Amino acid sequence: MKLDLLVLAVHPDDAELGCSGTIIKHIAQGKKVGIVDFTQGELGTRGTIETRAAEAEASSKIMGLHARENIKIRDGFFKNDEQHQLEVVKMIRKYQPEIILTNALYDRHPDHGRASELANDAIFLSGLRKVQTSLNGIEQQPWRPRLVLQYIQDTYIKPDIIVDISGQMDQKIEAIRTFKTQFDSPDESEPQTYISTPGFLQSVIARAREMGKNIGAEYGEGFTSRKLLGVDNLFDLR
């Protein structure tokens, strides 16, 4: 399946927190959107591989995703090396997206910045015809998206572009809340963590309000770009 928009996320729930409003908005506009999670989040203090997978499936239904899969690289210990780059290249060539959204350039969680670098290198390699990959015994063709952006995660990074998600905010929160083992959870049988307290989800909402305020909207999601962005028409800008 060819996708219009592909989100690369190192943990199940990264896409929900960072860019699910943008995902939902583009699906509503008729775009085909999918997520490739890199790890199963197996090092998370709360929950299990099985619960995280079930939560990701439930969230995918809420967002209306056209595809979601997990390439099951090692949480916390993956490297930006040839082996892992080629696994990501296979996914990029499989879905041939026009736009890719990836993890933040840097963040509180070291996996996020490392995954962003891994994705960036894989995206470049995916466009080289002499980098050979195959999937299910079929040789893949080179592919490079026309636009790559990084969503902003826990650490504030000044965005290069902000998407108005005012109409999608309620659905974004609903998608996040499907990860019941992780966020705003009353379950006291597991240790409380930085993200499980009610204050964390409130900070996500506050960040969206802050981003939205900057563009005259109620809520927004910010993205960074490693390259300068261009537009065809100045009147398209707010």
CATH number at residue 161: 3.40.50.10320
Kindly tell me if the per-residue pLDDT of 226 is higher than 80.
yes
Which domain covers residue 228, as residue numbers? 5-236
Phi, psi of 189 (to 5 degrees): -80, -15
Query: What are 131's two structure tokens?
Result: 């980098």
Mean pLDDT of 25-39: 98
Query: What are 122's two structure tokens?
Result: 């894989």
Mean pLDDT of 35-53: 96
Confidence of residue 69 (pLDDT cuts 50, 70, 90): very high
Inter-residue contact 34 to 175 (CB < 8 Å): no
**How many structural domains compose the chain?**
1
Kindly tell me if the per-residue pLDDT of 190 is higher than 90.
no
Mean pLDDT of 77-100: 98
Q: What is the overall mean pLDDT for the chain?
A: 96
Confidence of residue 192 (pLDDT cuts 50, 70, 90): confident
Strands 161-164 and 220-224: antiparallel
Kindly tell me if the per-residue pLDDT of 173 is higher than 80.
yes
3-state SS of the chain?
CCCCEEEEECCCCHHHHHHHHHHHHHHHCCCCEEEEECCCCCCCCCCCHHHHHHHHHHHHHHHCCCEEEECCCCCCCCCCCHHHHHHHHHHHHHHCCCEEEECCCCCCCHHHHHHHHHHHHHHHHHCCCCCCCEECCEECCCCCCCEEEEECCCCCCCCCEEEECHHHHHHHHHHHHCCCCCCCCCCCCCCCCCCCCHHHHHHHHHHHHHHHHCCCCCCEEEEECCCCCCCCCHHHCC
Can you give the pTM of this predicted structure?
0.96
Kindly tell me if the per-residue pLDDT of 79 is higher than 90.
yes
Tell me, what amino acid is at 144? R
Half-sphere exposure of 160 (CA within 13 A, CB side): 14
Mean pLDDT of 92-117: 98
Confidence of residue 150 (pLDDT cuts 50, 70, 90): very high
Kindly tell me if the per-residue pLDDT of 185 is higher than 80.
no
Residue from 208, 158, 160 nearest 21 by CA: 208
Measured distance CA(75)–CA(62) in Å, rounded:
25
Listed in sequence order, the residues at least 6 apart from 188 whose beta carbon sits closer than 8 Å to its beta carbon are none
Inter-residue contact 10 to 84 (CB < 8 Å): no
Inter-residue contact 166 to 230 (CB < 8 Å): no
Kindly tell me if the per-residue pLDDT of 187 is higher than 80.
no
Q: Among 76-80, 162-166, 181-185, which is the least confidently predicted range?
A: 181-185
Measured distance CA(78)–CA(184) in Å, rounded:
28
Mean pLDDT of 131-157: 97
Confidence of residue 1 (pLDDT cuts 50, 70, 90): confident
Which residue's structure tokens are 């583009």?
26
